[in-house]
Chains A and B, each alone.
Chain A
Amino acid sequence: MTVAAPAKVQYEAVIGLEVHCQLSTRSKIFSSSATAFGAPPNTNIDPICMGLPGTLPVLNEKVLEYAVKAGLALNCTIAPYSKFDRKQYFYPDLPKNYQISQYDLPIATHGWIEIQLSDGRTKRIGITRLHMEEDAGKLVHAGSDRLSGSSYSLVDFNRAGVPLIEIVSEPDIRSGEEAAEYVQELRRILRYAGLCDGNLQEGSLRCDVNISVRPLGCETFGTKVEIKNMNSFNAIQRAIEYEFNRQVKVVEAGERIVQETRLWEENSQRTISMRKKEGSSDYRYFPEPDLPPIRVTEEQKARWRAELPELPGVKRRRYQEVYGLSVYDARYLSDERNTAEYFEAVIAAGADPKAAANWMMSDIASYLNTHKLDYPDIALKPETLAELIALIEQGTISSKIAKEILPELLEKGGSARALVEAKGMTQISDSTLLEQLIAEVLAENPEQLEQYREGKTKLFGYFVGQLMKKTQGRADPKLANDLLKQHLNG
């Protein structure tokens, strides 16, 4: 992101993201309480996540597996030896007064992902580190949703001890669009691998932005500001754009940027100051004495790597390069794993990739949208869609007929060929029969025929319409056109 300043100084934004993702486990990171969203307050709690004296945390094996898988999916180096640490601070949503996190030996480091921007350009964003930690509880502010307006707060600890991974990016991001795309790509990757459901509204994916500005070409960093409280990709982009403009104005006015945390306010579309940033040393991290160090073997790593599916970035590229799809089509089809798997099953059943893409992105997409369904929910099996496409290619039905019978196939499934035959909808490609029908059409429309033969050739469409009406749209369009032309002119 750059802007032209009056003094002809151009500024750029330097952005790094911290993304917290809830791992899709059934139970908490160190105890057996459920992680399910939406339970009544304080139902999924136990002595361990509440930090009661005399309890000991025991790591959920799936948390380690999912964290390592996430690290592998993000091209990280997995630490063969890592550990948990205590991050200490006081806040009413933190029952133990410390959070079990990872400080100087995170489970994964030095990764990257490639993002693709709307113009098709790609960019590699570095990932500094990925670590495991436990979530805190949730504060419900009575009386007002602004912190300072409450007379008291209510605490629900259902989230306390829910497993998270925090993914910290390198400061490689330069605009709101890049940031939003980075988070979307992270979400896609984690959803593909079944590690996180990526639900922003339910808080399974949360994003903090670190942003500073500097004159373009400058190598050093400006003072960074942290922005929180964005719960959509759009909000991430707009918060960054707002904050960039705010910081440029401050710098141009000759003032200093204050290092602080700011909140994105959705209603007013601006960021507001929340608190001055604490130094990291104030957390007094130290190794968690209740949990021995974590070892990941080569064997575990190999097994977990083999369990990862093909990831969206690889699919996107393959769809463009192997199937010749456009950037837009490749993005749509690889966006969700269910969509990609359906698409690939249609191709595996013999369909042309472009034809499959067209059907999926038009009629089927709008059907799914209208009925709030996903690909696995529909009765139309990938093989049936391939069959339908084959019927068109073989000339058995026109694409118009195919569109007409599609709703029934989507609702009821079954064989496309059987349905076409049962409905007597096969295309008429028999030229003798077509010629006979054309003769009837001409006989029934003597006036139009005369006008046509006197030079009003745009009536051709009218005759095509009459013929289609007679055949219920079943006439082979190309053959019908050719024959009609011959008869009209002869």
Chain B
Amino acid sequence: MLKREEVQHVAHLARLELTEEEEIQFTEQLADILAYVEQLKELDTEGVEPTFHVLDMELPTRPDEVELYPDIEGILANAPDRADRFFKVPRILEGED
């Protein structure tokens, strides 16, 4: 059974702030989803290769050629805060993960 602490942990890893009601609600819903997926274990997968990707296609590659992106200012304009050409972010606390 999924514990509420696990939901809190996963929410923290995803930087999601949940209310107490949401934690209770998500614990139930996630438990249901996990139980549903558990059904797959009933299948006999002996000799079946694992699937890592749903599309059976070759990996496309590109040649190693440099092409400068023409609108860098457009990207920088997305920064919530800037210092000249830099993105400016709040200081990083030591020990924070």
Q: Tell me the A residues contacting B by CB distance below 8 Å.
A: 25-27, 32-34, 40-47, 50, 52, 58-64, 83, 88-92, 105, 139-142, 147-148, 150-157, 274-276, 278, 282, 284, 287, 289, 291-295
Contact = CB atoms under 8 A, between A and B. Distances in A.
Interface string B85-97: 1111111111101
A154 B86 CA distance: 6
B63 interface: yes
Contacts of B83: 142, 154
Interface stretch (B18-26, B29-37, B39-47, B68-76): B68-76
Given A43-B72, A60-B61, A284-B13, A32 B86 contact: no
Interface of B: 13, 15, 52-53, 55, 57-69, 72, 75-76, 78, 83-95, 97
Nearest to A81: B52
Contact of B62 (A32, A90, A105, A157): A32
Given A52-B75, A92-B89, A282-B97, 10 more contacts: A25-B64, A45-B75, A47-B69, A60-B64, A153-B91, A275-B97, A292-B53, A292-B55, A295-B58, A295-B59
A458 to B, nearest CB: 70
Nearest to A97: B15
B63 to A, nearest CB: 6
A271 B90 CA distance: 26
A146 to B, nearest CB: 8
26 contacts: A27-B66, A32-B66, A32-B68, A33-B69, A34-B66, A41-B84, A42-B75, A47-B75, A58-B61, A59-B61, A60-B62, A61-B64, A63-B64, A83-B53, A141-B92, A142-B83, A147-B93, A148-B93, A150-B91, A152-B89, A153-B91, A156-B85, A274-B95, A278-B97, A291-B59, A292-B57
Contact of A153 (B13, B65, B76, B92): B92
A402 B47 CA distance: 74
Interface SS of B by simple majority: loop
B76 A294 contact: no
Contacts of B60: 58-59, 292
Contacts of A275: 94-95, 97
Given A92-B92, A105-B52, A287-B53, A156 B86 contact: yes
Nearest to A290: B53
A58 B91 contact: no
Q: Classify the secondary structure of A's interface with B.
A: loop
Contacts of A26: 64-66
Given A42-B72, A61-B64, A152 B94 contact: no
A292 B59 contact: yes
Which of A25, A147, A154, A155 has its CB near the most chain B CB atoms (within 10 A)?
A154
Contacts of A293: 52-53, 59
Contacts of B15: 90
Contacts of B93: 147-148
Nearest to A46: B69
Nearest to B81: A152
A278 B67 CA distance: 38
Nearest to A90: B15
B65 to A, nearest CB: 6
B66 A155 contact: no
A59 B58 CA distance: 12
A408 to B, nearest CB: 43
Contacts of A150: 91-92
Contacts of A156: 85-86
B35 to A, nearest CB: 20
A295 B57 CA distance: 10
Nearest to A49: B69
Nearest to A83: B52
Nearest to B59: A292
B55 A62 contact: no
B92 A42 contact: no
Contacts of B72: 42-43, 45
Contacts of A47: 69, 75
Contacts of A289: 53
B39 to A, nearest CB: 20
- In the A-B complex, the 7 residue pairs with the smallest Cβ-Cβ separation, listed nearest first, are A154-B86, A46-B69, A32-B67, A61-B61, A62-B64, A155-B87, A92-B89
